[in-house]
């Protein structure tokens, strides 16, 4: 945008300025000016680039919680489904565990009004039963690949004498 009056004067090579043939050849190029449309388009491109740089600087100034990020739609949908399933299982487990009441062998089972109306059954321990701890382990294998899934644990079973 900042054009000098004589581009040949900026050259450090003295032979270009002193050669009359080159001066004559480039003299008609000095008189050329770009069209109004080309000048306007050039200025518009410069303005758009400056605006883009200004927006980029503003984004750098924002703190991390004020910035936006792009998340692909399938990833966002997957996260929503996983969060929903986790909430569902959390509340479902709480409701399922509140319906069963286990009583000690010497204490009577006390039922609340809610449990009586809902018909919930209380688990009681038989008088002549004693607990037996059992270990279990299950595994799933595929030949050539190896173990896919394994589960192990303990459970307590009451056994009559």
Residue 112, domain member (yes or no):
yes
Q: Residue 42 — very low, low, confident or very high, per pLDDT cuts 50/70/90?
A: very high
As a whole number, mean pLDDT of residues 34-50 equals: 95
Domain range for 46 is 7-64
Residue 148, domain member (yes or no):
yes
The one-character DSSP state at 117 is H
Look at residues 35, 64, 93 and tell me which one is the last residue of a structural domain: 64
Q: What token pair was written down for 19?
A: 């050669």
Could you report the per-residue pLDDT of 5-29, keeping only the tens digit for each? 555 455 556 666 788 888 888 888 8
Same-domain check for residues 102 and 132: yes
Same-domain check for residues 33 and 85: no
Same-domain check for residues 87 and 47: no
- Percent of the chain past pLDDT 90, that is, above it, reads 20
* Confidence at residue 18, expressed as pLDDT on a 0 to 100 scale: 80
* Confidence at residue 51, expressed as pLDDT on a 0 to 100 scale: 94
pTM of the model: 0.25
Q: Is 88 left (phi over 0), alpha (psi -120 to 50) or beta?
A: alpha
Q: How many domains does the chain have?
A: 2
* Confidence at residue 57, expressed as pLDDT on a 0 to 100 scale: 81
Could you report the per-residue pLDDT of 85-121, keeping only the tens digit for each? 998 888 876 665 544 444 444 445 455 555 555 555 5
Residue 1, domain member (yes or no):
no
Alpha-carbon gap, residue 42 to 106, rounded angstroms: 93
Residue 96, domain member (yes or no):
yes
Residue 42, domain member (yes or no):
yes
Could you report the per-residue pLDDT of 136-154, keeping only the tens digit for each? 888 888 888 888 888 888 8
Across 17-128, the runs of DSSP E, i.e. the strands, are none
Residue 2, domain member (yes or no):
no
Across the chain, what does the average pLDDT equal?
Answer: 76
CB–CB of 101/121 below 8 Å? no
* Confidence at residue 119, expressed as pLDDT on a 0 to 100 scale: 55
């Amino acid at each position: 945008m900042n054009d000098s009056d004589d581009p040949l004067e900026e050259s450090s090579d003295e032979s270009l300025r002193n050669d009359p043939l080159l001066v004559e050849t480039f003299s008609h190029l000095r008189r050329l000016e770009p069209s109004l449309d080309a000048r306007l388009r050039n200025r518009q491109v410069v303005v758009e680039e400056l605006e883009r740089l200004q927006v980029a600087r503003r984004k750098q100034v924002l703190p991390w919680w004020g910035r936006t990020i792009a998340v692909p739609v399938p990833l966002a949908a997957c996260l929503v489904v996983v969060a929903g399933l986790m909430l569902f299982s959390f509340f479902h487990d709480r409701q399922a565990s509140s319906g069963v009441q286990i009583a000690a062998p010497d204490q009577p089972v006390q039922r609340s009004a809610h449990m009586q109306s809902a018909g919930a059954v209380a688990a009681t321990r038989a008088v002549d039963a004693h607990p037996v701890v059992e270990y279990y382990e299950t595994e799933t294998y595929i030949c050539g690949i190896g173990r896919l899934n394994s589960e192990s644990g303990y459970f307590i079973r009451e056994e009559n004498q």
